[in-house]
Amino acid sequence: MNVSWRKPLRRIGWGLLLVLLDVRIAGIDWLPDFVGYMMAASGSLRLGSEFPAMRRAGRLAWGLAAVSLPAVLMPYTMNPTEGISQLPLPVQLYGQLMLALHAVLIMLLCTGLREAASKAKARDIQHQAGGRRTFYALLAFVLLVFYPFQFNLEELQWWVWYGGGVLLLGIAELLALRLPFRLARVRRHRVDKEATRRRQPYDHHS
């Protein structure tokens, strides 16, 4: 077993968790997304030589790191009573573009994790990666399609439906982000077992 998987997998998980968290004070994002994307890109590309989906995910993550730079100072915070439709159109389009690209990144990573789990013979993680990829993709697609209907709904109705969708998407992403940490633990335990087996013949001889 290749122990070199452990750090890249954890880096992917922590990086995307950093992207998921949003701490804004005085209009500034103190947990900038580009740092998380850079971590995810670094971890993905380390695994890219073995898994093509990881290589594509790493390249996309680097692109997202660059594209997300303006979000550090972009005014996403707003008064809900004013309505999201009051945000400038470029800000809204930027947000939807980031959501679409981020969704593609999560799907690529789930595909790569599925391939890695197959190689590690972690069948449960392999199946879960496929299922969580489908669930996340479906939710992201529904949110992207539903977004323009804000102009035809009452503001409160739109907030309830879209807010519920965003909450579900966040839960789906957290479930997906568990996978690299779990796979890293599987690799560690199996490496430890193999190391123990290799030492046993020497112990008997001694």
Give residue limits of the domains in the chain.
3-74+89-199
Residue 54 pLDDT greater than 50, yes or no: yes
- State the number of CA atoms in the 13 A half-sphere of 47 facing the CB: 35
73 pLDDT tier (thresholds 50, 70, 90):
low
CB contact at 8 A, 150 and 96: no
CB contact at 8 A, 162 and 101: no
Residue 8 pLDDT greater than 70, yes or no: yes
- Give the mean pLDDT of 97-110: 96
Whole-number percent of the chain with pLDDT over 90? 55
- Give the mean pLDDT of 116-127: 93
195 pLDDT tier (thresholds 50, 70, 90):
very low
Structural tokens at position 178: 């568990």
Residue 192 pLDDT greater than 50, yes or no: no
